[in-house]
């Protein structure tokens, strides 16, 4: 590998970091490897894929308040397989860009300070990204870093869609719908347009279904609505997050029930959703294999709310031509897709059972009024591409 043609991406979640390794030629970024660090596992393990080879390597360091040691050891491991001397930049996923960042940005002291100021809006995800940014800054102070924002893709939404029915002063203070999973939706919009340009120019709902789940309404590839709003809690039920909830429930729990704010936050983020309803598992794969009523009810609620949200998105768009499933559940779990689709039969949507079972790209039935597709997402590719665009702009 020649000098300075390696680009890394850090996709930080609340408890994991996905690492993408890309070879660049100054114009494009081509993936050559990927890694994962799961901070919920002890000892920490770095899962690395290099082409067909897969490695699970135990890290000697622990994740503390700072991630300097973890990043330093990770760089050392990567150096055994890739030319880290040729590392030209690192691109980061940052969940919240607020109204400040409507596109990717070069990270300097000013932009890092602005990202930090948004931490209160994404308290679980923003700190993890900042720890990674600062660890790299400490270890490689001259290495260029960029940020790609999950909220940026949704900047095309109208002020009306983004507004809550709250006093206007709160909207002006930033209490509004921002939308998330924007990197995934950006990839799907581009990939759909590449594969089927005419279809992609029409009204489309994308269902990003994973442990975090949301839906996005696209018109000609631009975001018009998103099920997630002010926070990553809103919208449909998720693995452990509640989705939309009557705020009166929260007032009741904080008031008469005497819950603390911390206790309530922990319940909403970590003990609700599929796990909360079933009391069994946060994973739909486990629930689909379980015969207990609670497991079936959790799956049914998940699909019911998703189908309902698709109907709401169709209202925003003024119609619906395409439905795209993506992310872990959306790409791989035919039974979930089938149940959601069955609830949308009133729209004239049908699916081909055989195509659905094969995870084919087009799974809609021959007479379906809506084209239903399965398209794998790739957030890391978007981060890499956006990093390249920022670096080209700054050169």
> DSSP secondary-structure letter at 211?
S
Of residues 241, 261, 238, the one with CA closest to residue 250: 261
Q: In the sheet where 144-149 sits, what is the strand order?
A: 53-58, 45-50, 29-38, 16-24, 6-12, 87-94, 144-149, 105-106
Of residues 211, 181, 200, 220, the one with CA closest to residue 382: 181
Category of 4 on φ-ψ map: left (φ > 0), alpha (ψ -120 to 50) or beta: left
- Residue 150 catalytic? yes
User: How many CB atoms are located within 10 Å of the residue 77 CB?
Assistant: 16
What is the radius of gyration, based on Cα positions, of the chain? 21
Choosing from 25, 108, 116, 150, the catalytic residue is 150
Q: Are 241 and 272 spatial neighbours (Cβ–Cβ below 8 Å)? A: yes
Whose structure tokens read 């924007």? 182
Which residues neighbour 252 within 8 Å (Cβ) at sequence distance 6 or greater? none
Across 80-91, b (16+ Cβ under 10 Å) vs e yields: ebbebeebbbbb
Give one DSSP letter per residue of 118-185, joined into a string: TGGGSTTTHHHHHHHHHHHHHH-TTSEEEEEETTGGGGGS-HHHH--SS-HHHHHTT-S-----HHHH
Active-site residue set: 150
């Amino acid at each position: 590998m020649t000098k300075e043609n390696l680009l890394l991406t850090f996709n930080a979640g609340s408890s994991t970091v996905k690492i993408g390794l890309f070879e660049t030629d100054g114009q494009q970024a081509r993936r050559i490897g990927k890694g994962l660090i799961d901070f919920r596992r002890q000892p920490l393990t770095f899962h690395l894929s290099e082409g067909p080879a897969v490695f699970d390597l135990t890290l000697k360091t622990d994740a503390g308040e700072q991630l300097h040691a973890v990043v330093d050891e990770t760089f050392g491991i990567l150096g055994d397989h890739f030319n880290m001397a040729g590392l030209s930049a690192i691109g980061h996923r940052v969940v919240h860009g607020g109204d400040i960042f409507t596109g990717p940005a070069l990270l300097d002291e000013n932009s890092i300070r602005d990202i930090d100021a948004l931490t209160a809006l994404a308290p679980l995800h923003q700190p993890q990204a900042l720890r990674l940014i600062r660890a790299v800054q400490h270890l490689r102070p001259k290495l260029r870093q960029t940020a790609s924002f999950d909220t940026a893709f949704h900047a095309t939404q109208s002020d009306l869609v983004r507004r809550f029915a709250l006093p206007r002063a709160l909207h002006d203070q930033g209490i509004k719908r921002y939308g998330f999973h924007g990197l995934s939706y950006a990839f799907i919009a581009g990939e759909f347009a590449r594969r089927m340009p005419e279809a992609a120019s029409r009204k489309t709902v994308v269902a990003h279904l994973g442990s975090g789940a949301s839906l996005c309404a696209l018109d000609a590839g631009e975001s018009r609505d998103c099920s997630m709003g002010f926070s990553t809690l809103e919208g449909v039920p998720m693995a452990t997050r509640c989705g939309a909830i009557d705020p009166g429930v929260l007032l009741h729990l904080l008031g008469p029930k005497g819950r603390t704010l911390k206790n309530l936050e922990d319940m909403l983020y970590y003990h609700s959703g599929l796990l909360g309803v079933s009391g069994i598992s946060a994973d739909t794969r486990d629930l689909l294999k379980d015969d207990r009523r609670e497991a079936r009810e959790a799956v049914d609620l998940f699909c019911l709310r998703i189908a309902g949200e698709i109907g709401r998105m169709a209202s925003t768009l003024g119609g619906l031509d395409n439905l795209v499933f993506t992310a872990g559940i959306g790409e791989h779990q035919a039974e979930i897709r089938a149940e959601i689709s069955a609830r949308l039969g009133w729209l004239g949507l049908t699916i081909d059972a055989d195509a659905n079972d094969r995870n084919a790209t087009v799974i809609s039935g021959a007479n379906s009024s809506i084209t239903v597709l399965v398209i794998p997402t790739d957030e890391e590719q978007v981060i890499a591409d956006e990093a390249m665009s920022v670096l080209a702009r700054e050169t």
